[in-house]
Structure 1
Amino acid sequence: MTRNRDKGWKENPNRSVFVMTEESGMDVSEYLNQNPHLAEWVETLREQSETGKHWGSRREFILRNMEVFPTIEPGTTSHSLDMLLSLSKVWANHVFLGCRYPDPVMDKVKELADGITVIDAPVRKTRDEILGKGKRPPVIGTDADSCVKKSKCVPNDSNSKDPERNTECVTTPAAIKSGPSASAPAEHQPFFNRLYKAVAWKLVSAGGFGPNLDHFEILRSCVESCKASLSCVFVPLKDIPDLPAGCTQKEGQVCELRCHTVYLGTGYGRDECAARAMASKEALKIFQGRKVNVRISRRRFQGRDVEDIVLFDEQPRGPVLPPALSYPF
């Protein structure tokens, strides 16, 4: 037991296990190897849809904060355990999915997560950072999966701690005129054939496409199973210049989903989570046919017509696609 304490663990007098201290700097795997009964219990807290990276970080959050909730007993449900699990999910959703919550909640989870390092966490920017503090130039990422546009007031600790990952992704007007290469659809098609199969199996296991599914989670897990990631772009509805004439709705958020720079779908909602869910639902509809096709199509972006790479199903979409919120070429 002395050896454990020397490693930065301390014994809680109310429990028969050691808890991880913030200053320990120890390895989670080593800690769990010496507490096998705790390792077995904590694995029961993993969500079925969580990836290894997602769960590994949330598991560390739980273990490092068990001392904050001294009434928690492994294997026993309690209000304290429910509170810790809820906070761990809030933190993980913020880090990996870009979700945001009321300021007091965000302050609390950031305090509890102090000292936890997430490797290759998604990088997000505020809308003002991307648009250049009020200007409206074309905003492009050399890699659309790594440049994610967010509306204002979305804090992300990884940006402040790693200045090299806080570089703006902006191209020149000449780059916009070039557009996607003619070979781009053929280059992307094999990936989306694999993604089509992954989505098909996922929907079968979920009982088929329906309104009660977590559409974003299904799409995200399928994309990650194909070794890729989704790019979510959020813009306030009132800031979109290409709204249809006569549109009176000005509140809410619009979300655009891309994968490997290919446009998947757009959704509107009262907040970012609702908009992302609707965009994911629209994207999943494309996978309902017998195949998917990657094609170059004309879209409106910043008041001009541009060529974009779009994923289609067997049934052609309407004559007018939603205006682009981002243009990755």
Structure 2
Amino acid sequence: MVFSTNWCVDKYKNEHESEEHWELRKKFIETHKHKFPEEKLVCLARVFFNIEFLGCRYPEETMKLVAKLSEGVADEHRERQKGKLKRTFVQASDAVIANMKRDLTKPSPKKIKSSQKDSVKGFQYSQFVHAASVIEQPPLHSKKTSNIGDFSGFILFEHGSATFKETCPVKILCQSSQKKGQRRVLKFNFPTEKNKQQEKYCEISIDNEVLASGRGSTMKEAKEIAAKEGLNKLRKTCYTIQVKQAFFSDNASLTKDEPVQETDLPISQDNIGSKMMLKMGWTGSGLGKQQQGIQTPVQASSQIVHRAGIGCTNHRQLQERFKEVFKNYITSKSDHDLVFASDFSSEERKTLHQLAHKFNLRTKSFGKGSDRHLVVSKMRAPVDLLELLLDCGGENEKYLLISPTGSDQ
């Protein structure tokens, strides 16, 4: 059966999709455009992409179908990949183990045997391997100048908001290297033998591996030029996570004098969505053939505090109250931040900082004077945040994922 081919393939290109990824997915769609309905083919192309680039697995029947459809489509891409540096995504737990095994001397690399077979197993993206059995971290005191590919596991972070975006390369490199979960030793070196009176020289290294260098009339200028060059190099092989806003909360600010209560409120009968559902025959039960769907709407999992009129004057009571808030926040699936209002004193905010850190939560204060407020958020290792953004399409309310631009190979 031949299906209509009178539709535009380019409308399915994602805004933040790299040219390499899109060209391969586009080739897959155009090759099989006449074989499947539009919606099904687009889904198969996404499955093909997930298998080829992310190493995903699907039911055996789906794997066999996509493996067959990929014949002749991905051959050229796979040949190019053989000559490129391999990248391995390491889970946070594996990274901890690898760091513990780190030694001053570099161990001999472990060989990996692989073969391309006409089987479903062979169709898995060959560059994704189990990290724990392969990865050994580079030595701490190596003086060898490395290729940019050695930094491909590094994740860049750029902070910004609706009105401001951090563009200073030095700040971006410093903030990224200090992220918990990928702490790297970033140094700006000014070798005496290379610094002349008329011209200054700066060399940037990460974990004692040289990343970039720059020259300028002053040390500050040389540092900025080196940082700009280093950042451009890292963007070619590293993912960048843009922090779109300082904090994001799905609830009102938490205030000092309000008791904790859940925010789950039923949708009113005059809600336009409820009216439409009732007209379509909905009786209030769960949707689905077996009525297995949820009957209550999905609610924000953060907790809200409403003012009771009686202030909390006891310091111990205050601690216990917000211990409960932190515990509920940790067990919830919410990725939103907790915002504590400005009516807490400096000492009380200090206590909340300490308490949040005991629960392994991240804290940051915003504002000045009487407008000073505290924001608490969950800690995520950069690699975990990367996986989260890949799963949700590259963007959520707080973060935007930018793919590597490609190396000069």
- What TM-score range do you get, normalising by the shorter chain? 0.3 to 0.5
Q: Please give the TM-score of this superposition, normalised by the length of structure 1.
A: 0.34
- Structure number with the higher helix fraction is 1
Q: Please give the TM-score of this superposition, normalised by the length of structure 2.
A: 0.29
Say which one has the larger Rg: 2
